[in-house]
A and B are shown apart, each in its own frame.
Chain A
């Protein structure tokens, strides 16, 4: 089955910890994206990558980091510099930057 897999589904972070969210796709898509979703707000773009070994900051990149070493993988690290990390995180991919986007099932991150 082709698709986008995000793990874990739920993640708990202590104050001051870095955590990494996984996103893997087997759709052979070049472009991958990370979004953050907060209650009552639209999705906001954190980082995106159009090609392997290249990525760009989105609208709310502060406190986050990414890597794109493989076409199928685009992990997101939430660092201790992100002051309000509790949110629902969504990963997406598309064939190209202007094509239809497909999403994973999300990771809910909670600071404890």
Chain B
């Protein structure tokens, strides 16, 4: 059974720092992996989707990488801003299965 973990559980950084959020999964036979952002009391906003054949995806200041063999994905946020403060969730989908979500990393970017 696929299990997804995210480290750290919470992170607080000063504005302007580059930072990395980690997502690990136990079953490497994944179909794709999706990163989401969730603001307090809100739904999830899709950030990046990486297919199993891809190594990374980029959108603006965000870059997500995927290493299937080691069961890891990282979300890199460049030049962080207070508006980036939110909870970041990764979700992993195996072939023929539904998404399995990690517990999230709660990010605070301090002005």
Any chain B CB within 8 A of the CB of A33? yes
Known contacts: A98-B31, A98-B93, A101-B34. The answer to whether A41 contacts B43 by CB under 8 A is no
CB within 8 Å: A-B pair count: 50
Does B103 lie within 8 Å of A33, measured CB to CB? Answer: no
Interface string of A21-60 (1 = CB under 8 A from B): 0000000000001010000111111001000000000100
Interface string of A88-104 (1 = CB under 8 A from B): 10101000011011111
**Most chain B CB inside 10 Å of its own CB: which residue of A43, A103, A106:** A43
> How extensive is the interface on chain B, given as a class?
20 to 34
Does A42 lie within 8 Å of B93, measured CB to CB? Answer: no
Any chain B CB within 8 A of the CB of A71? no
A sample of 19 more A-B contacts (CB under 8 A), given A44-B101, A101-B34, A104-B43, is: A40-B103, A42-B89, A42-B101, A42-B103, A43-B89, A43-B91, A43-B101, A45-B98, A48-B98, A90-B43, A97-B98, A100-B46, A101-B46, A101-B91, A101-B99, A103-B44, A106-B42, A106-B43, A108-B41
